[in-house]
A and B are shown apart, each in its own frame.
Chain A
Amino acid sequence: MSAGAAKIPVTVAEVTPVNELVTRFKFVRRDGGPMPTFSGGAHTVVEMNDKDRVRRNPYSIMSDPADRGGYSISIRRDDNGRGGSLFMHRQVRPGMEMVISNPINLFALDLRARKHLLLAGGIGITPFLAQIKQLAGMNGNFELHYSVRTTSLASYADELAANYRPRVHLYHDDRGEQIDLPALLDGQPLGTHVYVCGPKGMIAWVRKTATALGWPREAVHHEEFLAPASGKPFEVMLARSNKMIQVGEHQSLLEAIEAAGVEAPYLCRGGACGQCETDVLEYEGTFLHKDHWLTPAQCASGTKIMPCVSRFEGKTLVLDR
């Protein structure tokens, strides 16, 4: 199988500032054709040619899944990140040609649910924007609880409230408002599914509270893209390709493998989907496992690594790639 999902050559049609931190980008096909339909919760991997390196970052598609005219994503600027969001905010202009991937959904709605309870924190609103449009179009039963820092940073809150008011609940941190999660989870009818997307702490809080209240694991859905962490540079031997490569401080192992011209499978590039799982042939040192995929036993075994987010410190690392 080739690496990643099939690719779509696109043109940047619009770049729209949403507030001081968030900017929205709209992509249309370069050949003028329709985009593939997608399901709410799907993401696309955006390729960025940033000087001499290629970045590939996943972003949730926020536009209406039924609208095949183009895909929109919203990106929050992260001044301390690895640079992908800064590239998008500073370099990307309408008319620019880029490449994005076919939609991939790792955060799909469970269509059996009697009710969909959506919990968003900050920029975590983006997958829900598409899901809400999909649910509204099929008379789905949903409720959104959206936590924001301030009114001015509440991306799309006005639009959501205007269109779906009784089902949309807003919470402002600066006014001391917070979702009363135990009370909210407690009264839900059987067959409710809860979905959470937001900061790491929020996801952990929702999962923990739901578990303590007896919610089944299968009814609690979360999406968390990990950004690959920076770290000390290290050296890796790719046995099958017979190449020795260097992984830079702000580069992921997967990016370093790709930069060496070696094809490696991936989908989410965020430690969640399992596609890039790679066998370790030999090592002397310590793995810095960051993914959500490998089991603790697999991590301890020293035989697997997820190169999209995990790193290594030590003398030798030989991979089957």
Chain B
Amino acid sequence: MLEGTIPSRPVYGALEIRPGRLHLIVADAEGAEAILDLAASAPPDFFAGAQIIYLPKKSGDKFVAGLEQLAPAQLYVGPSYEAALPRLRRVLAGAHMGLQVYLAGTEGLMGQAMLEATQAGIPHSAIQAEHRGSTVRRVQCVHCKGITEDVTHDPFRCAHCGLHLFVRDHYSRRIAAFQGVRVDAEDPGNIPESVERFR
């Protein structure tokens, strides 16, 4: 369970069934387990009104059969978030008020999907999110603005400008990323040992 440290750091709950006309579920990897848990409390017709966008990543086929068994109205299994994005945007563009959005899996995926949903007009506080699996972070370099995906170590090197950044808990929903700040700004070259903080 990820803990809230400062008020901008997102906290995640457990998905619950809410009333709605259409249920859009976006998940990656172990996020599938949150969907399967949700299914346990779902009314019989729930998945007939649900669309699932699922990105297995390293979990491979492990959860795909289980999701198929839920018989959702649509199940998309895709290779990456970038590949799924046009489809996600298409669903949101055609949706009406009463759409419920459920996100599950890694913070990077949930943050980016939440950004799409809020840009489509859903308040962020009305979107459910449940963290499962990896705690790797999406971090934006405050200096060059480049985003480094799947950050495991702190400090780490920005994939864009190469500065050594420490990872703050300060999080931007609009960028869907944590903030990275040069660790040796006041004493160039004095870089603390990098520690694996996120797995």
Q: Are A186 and B98 in contact (CB under 8 A)?
A: yes
Closest chain-B Cβ to A166's Cβ sits at a distance in Å of 21
Q: Are B126 and A218 in contact (CB under 8 A)?
A: yes
Known: A191-B120, A192-B97, A215-B97. A186 touches B21 (CB 8 A): yes
Q: Are A213 and B19 in contact (CB under 8 A)?
A: yes
| Interface residue? A32 (CB, 8 A) | no
Q: How far is the CA of A301 from the CA of B6 in the complex (A)?
A: 29
Q: How far is the CA of A216 from the CA of B19 in the complex (A)?
A: 10
Total interface residues in chain A, CB < 8 Å: 20
Q: How far is the CA of A300 from the CA of B8 in the complex (A)?
A: 31
Q: Are A216 and B123 in contact (CB under 8 A)?
A: yes
- In the bound complex, residues from chain B placing their C-beta under 8 Å from that of A112 are 121
Other than the given A185-B98, A215-B97, 15 more pairs (CB < 8 A) read A112-B121, A186-B21, A187-B96, A189-B96, A190-B99, A191-B120, A191-B121, A213-B19, A213-B20, A213-B21, A214-B97, A216-B122, A216-B123, A218-B125, A219-B126
Identify whether the interface residues of B are mostly helix, strand, loop, or mixed. loop
Q: Are B99 and A214 in contact (CB under 8 A)?
A: yes
Q: In the complex, which residues 79-127 of chain B have their Cβ closer than 8 Å to any Cβ of chain A? A: 92, 95-100, 120-123, 125-126
Cβ-closest 9 pairs across A and B? A191-B121, A214-B20, A216-B126, A218-B123, A214-B98, A190-B121, A188-B97, A213-B98, A214-B19
Binding site for A on B (CB under 8 A): 18-21, 92, 95-100, 120-123, 125-126
A-B contact pairs, 23 of them (CB 8 A): A114-B121, A186-B97, A186-B98, A188-B96, A189-B96, A189-B121, A190-B95, A190-B97, A191-B120, A191-B121, A192-B121, A213-B20, A213-B21, A213-B97, A213-B98, A214-B19, A214-B20, A214-B21, A214-B99, A214-B100, A216-B122, A217-B126, A218-B126
Closest chain-B Cβ to A119's Cβ sits at a distance in Å of 14
Q: How far is the CA of A217 from the CA of B18 in the complex (A)?
A: 13
Q: How far is the CA of A186 from the CA of B97 in the complex (A)?
A: 7
- In the bound complex, residues from chain A placing their C-beta under 8 Å from that of B123 are 216, 218-219
B19 partner, pick from A114, A211, A217, A218, beta carbons under 8 A: A211
| Interface residue? A212 (CB, 8 A) | yes
Q: Indicate the member of A114, A187, A216 with the most B CB atoms within 10 Å.
A: A216
